[in-house]
């Protein structure tokens, strides 16, 4: 049995999968905000619950909104800031009395979709999570690529490529730089850009509904968004040339992206034609937790 835990900023989700990937049990609890020790205890309690419910012991994989620094073995880059600098890996292994595997949540997402999801059987896969932030993960021929600095796939804090005059230098990002891809493509970034252009609606969903009702401002906001996504993904295609790009997170629910963005990216990719596929996730919001469980696939 494989246990996966997705440690999110507001929820911790746990899943138990059998050998073929069938879900045996699932539980979701609130994340203890700002409390490191309580976060450890919550994860241990979830593992105990899953093992009691299934009457089996399992391997444990954990997805976190950040990474374990290979240099220090401490958490870095986490937007759940109370985890930063903590020896989460060592503390959890001690508390659970076993080896565990920890990966960035976007890497877990791509592991899930490449293992038995929308990118199953693809050679090279880029997984993107676009919600309140923008993360990415790379999977090549049966293996995730973590990278020597544990940041492979972290494209969200590169600058938006091919900026127009009114996109440059761009808004300030929480990372300290200007014009990061995340400030344009995240859900809040999209809504902000739309409102700056005098648009109505407070969420991406509102804006899509307005566009479908014929609102021209909403439609042009979506067109700008799609062109930015095409440019941002074109740089990924130019580097790793993936077979499939899987979108996850809240913005992956905008179904028009799958049709519109691949029509735009050809202008930016250095190739005569682009046959890369852009697809929605098969496992939806469950991909993070399923991918954490699949960290023990090999
Ligand atoms: Zn940034």
Q: How long a stretch of residues is the chain? A: 298
Mean pLDDT of 286-291: 96
User: How many Å lie between the centroid of ligand 1 and the Cα of residue 133?
Assistant: 10
Average pLDDT, the chain: 96
Token readout for 85 is: 């600098």
Helix (H, G, I), strand (E, B) or coil at 169: coil
Q: What is the DSSP letter of 103?
A: E
For residue 68, pLDDT over 90 is answered with yes
Going from the Cα of 202 to the center of ligand 1, the distance in angstroms, rounded, reads 23
207-236 per-position pLDDT tens digit:
999 999 999 999 999 999 999 999 999 999
- Please give the backbone phi and psi of residue 58, each rounded to the nearest 5 degrees, phi first: -135, 165
pLDDT of residue 258: 98
Ligand 1 midpoint to CA 138 (Å): 19
Full-prediction pTM beyond 0.75?
Answer: yes
| CA of residue 151 to ligand 1 center, whole Å | 14
Residue 105: name the closest of 292, 295, 298, 293 by CA.
Answer: 292
**Which of 188, 193, 226, 194 has its CA nearest to residue 207?**
194
Rounded to the nearest angstrom, the distance between the alpha carbon of 44 and the centre of ligand 1 is 33
- Cα 38 to ligand 1 centroid, rounded to whole Å: 29
Residue 148 CA to ligand 1 centre (angstroms): 20
State the distance from the centre of ligand 1 to the C-alpha of 180, rounded, in angstroms.
5
From the CA of 135, how far away is ligand 1's center (Å)?
Answer: 11
> What is the distance between the alpha carbons of residues 259 and 261, in angstroms, rounded to a whole number?
6
* Short-list 152, 64, 45, CA closest to 102: 64
Q: Kindly state the helix (H) or strand (E) to which residue 236 belongs, with its residue range.
A: helix 216-240
Helix (H/G/I), strand (E/B), else coil: 88 = helix
* Residue-level pLDDT at 298: 63
Distance of CA 273 from the midpoint of ligand 1 (Å): 31
Q: 156 alpha carbon to ligand 1 midpoint, in Å?
A: 7
3-state secondary structure 279-292: ECCCCHHHHHHHHH
């Amino acid at each position: 049995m494989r246990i996966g835990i997705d440690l999110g900023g507001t929820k911790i989700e746990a899943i138990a999968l059998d050998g073929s990937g069938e879900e045996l049990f699932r539980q979701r609890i609130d994340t203890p905000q700002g409390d490191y020790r309580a976060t450890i205890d919550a994860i241990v309690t979830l593992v105990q619950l899953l093992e009691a419910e299934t009457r089996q012991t399992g391997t444990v994989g954990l997805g976190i909104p950040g990474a374990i620094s290979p240099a220090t073995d401490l958490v870095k880059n986490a937007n759940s800031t109370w985890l930063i600098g903590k020896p989460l890996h060592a503390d959890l292994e001690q508390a659970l009395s076993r080896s565990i595997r920890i990966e960035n949540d976007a890497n877990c997402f791509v592991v899930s979709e490449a293992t038995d999801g929308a990118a199953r059987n693809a050679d090279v896969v880029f997984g993107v999570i676009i919600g309140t932030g923008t993360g990415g993960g790379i999977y090549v021929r049966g293996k995730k690529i973590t990278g020597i600095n544990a940041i492979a796939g972290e494209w969200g804090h590169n600058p938006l490529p091919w900026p127009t005059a009114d996109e440059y230098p761009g808004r300030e990002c929480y990372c300290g730089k200007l014009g990061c891809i995340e400030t344009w493509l995240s859900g809040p970034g999209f809504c902000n850009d739309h409102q700056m252009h005098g648009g109505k609606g407070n969420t991406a969903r509102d804006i899509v509904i307005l566009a479908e009702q014929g609102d021209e401002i909403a439609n042009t906001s979506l067109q700008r968004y799609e062109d930015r996504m095409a440019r941002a993904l074109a740089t990924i295609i130019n580097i790793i040339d993936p077979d499939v790009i899987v979108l996850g997170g809240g913005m992956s629910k905008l179904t028009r992206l799958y049709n519109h963005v691949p029509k735009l990216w050809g202008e930016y990719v250095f190739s005569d034609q682009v046959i890369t596929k852009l697809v929605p996730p098969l496992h939806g919001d469950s991909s993070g937790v399923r991918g954490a469980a699949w960290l023990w696939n090999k």
